[in-house]
Structure formats: structure tokens, C-alpha cells
Amino acid sequence: MIFTSTETIFVRVYEARMDLLRAVIVGPAGTPYHDGLFVFDVLFPPNYPSVPPMVYYYSGGLRLNPNLYDCGKVCLSLLNTWNGKKTEMWIPGKSTMLQVLVSIQGLILNAKPFFNEPGYENMYVGEDGERRSKQYNEDVFILSLKTMVYTIRRPPKHFEDFVVGHFRQRAHDILVACKAYKEGSQVGSMVKEGTQDVNEHEMSTSHEFKEAVGKMMKTLVTNFIKNGSKDCEQFQVSA
């Protein structure tokens, strides 16, 4: 087992099975996926790199992005699982596995995933599009929190220690963000170290979302404490 990583993409390869790879991507700051862990298994076909790798997403049964299906399918031009421009498709001798992982993190787990749905960028424009996008982000954030709980309870094999360490380190900031969103801040406005990046003219989060966040905070606090995180009890009152 070999472990390698960038700052937010972590990979393990199997010495006995060089055709397999497991990757964990940290959700980017400024998105509804921030601080989450997203797990992917990769199979390199016999004719790789003439063809793209096969990528499976561990969804936990949750559909939190138009490109990530609850069945595990990853819809991405680079994987030839979605139609795109010729330059966006897999190019033998040029495209790489790292490019796939960076594309998932940057193009799929983005700040406005609502517009990942084909045609939505042109169909929903102006205020209507922004309103729908913000509503989608609220729904996605709740699913991302559920994914965190799922990952803590059932960490991917060979990443058990990594999952424990990640959520011990990030638990406080996750709960700070939840508290801010529950009080009306827009999803994704909480960036590193709990600093708020928000436009005062942005609309507040919905009442239904605030209630859902409050319920999820109780579950998160319980699981974070079991995971060994400190200073989480203060958020039990907020929840």
C-alpha cells in the first residue's frame, strides 16, 4: 500500500494491484462541499492510458451533485462518460489521472453545482437562476453533512486514520460554519479559520434549511465527540 497526496487530494495505490487506486478529495472552501471528504475508487483498464480510467464514487446513497450519481457513476467529459468538446475528452498520451481528480474537485465540486446540470446555465438566468442555485446549495450542504457522518461511521478502508484526523482537525470550523448558516449566512460563505466571506446584500437562508442544519448539528456534535474532537459541546446549545 502506497500513500501519496497533494494538499487536498489523497491517494492510495495497491502494490499487489497496480490497476487499482483509491482517492479521497477534500471539498473545496467557498463551496457547499467545504471540509467534506469524497471517496472514489479507480480501475485502470488493460488498455489504459489509451482509454480513460473507470471511476466509482462512494455516494452512501446520496445524490449531492448533478455529476455524481447515487449509483456511483461520475459524469465527466474527461472520463468519456459525458459528451464534451474534443479538447475536454480523454486524450491518450496527454490526459492523466491527476487531471481527472483535479477536474472532479474543481469542476464538479464547485461553488454553484446547480449549473452543472446540462442546459441550466442558459435556462435559468439572472435572479431566478441565482435563487435556484442558492436553494440547491442549501440542499447539497445538508447532504454533504450527512456524507460526513456516513464517512465517520464507515471510513473507507486504508483511510481510517486519515478520516479520524481530518474530522478532529476540522470539526470546530465545520460547526462554526453550520452555526453561521443557521443564523442566515449563505452556504459557502465561511472560509478558512471561520472567516466570513459574505455579501451583505445576499438573501438569507431559508427557514427549512435553518431547521435542517440545527438537526444535523446535533448529529455532528455527537459523532465529532465520539471521533475525539474537542470543544464541540458548546455547539449543542446552538443546535
What are the extents of the domains in the chain?
2-112, 120-238
- Closest Cα to residue 37, out of 176, 175, 182, 150? 150
3-state secondary structure of 226: helix
The mean pLDDT value of the chain amounts to 91
Checking if the pLDDT of 158 tops 70, the result is yes
Residue 126: pLDDT over 90: no
Q: Are 216 and 179 in contact (CB under 8 A)?
A: no
Residue 216 CB: number of other CB atoms within 10 A? 20
DSSP state, residue 236: H
Q: Which CATH architecture has domain 2-112?
A: Roll (3.10)
Q: Look up 75 and say whether it is catalytic.
A: yes
What does pTM read for this prediction?
Answer: 0.91
Instruction: Tell me what the mean pLDDT of segment 17-32 comes to.
Output: 95
233: pLDDT confidence band, cut at 50, 70 and 90? Answer: confident
Q: Which residues pair with 20 in a beta bridge?
A: 43
Cell numbers linked to 153: 461511521
Q: What is the 8-class DSSP label of residue 86?
A: G
Q: What is the pLDDT of residue 62?
A: 97
Percent of the chain scored above 90 by pLDDT? 77
> What pLDDT is stored for residue 235 in this prediction?
87
In the structure, what pLDDT confidence band is assigned to residue 203 with cuts at 50, 70 and 90? low
Mean pLDDT of 203-213: 90
Instruction: Give the strands of the sheet with 9-14, arranged side by side.
Output: 2-5, 9-14, 17-26, 37-43, 54-57
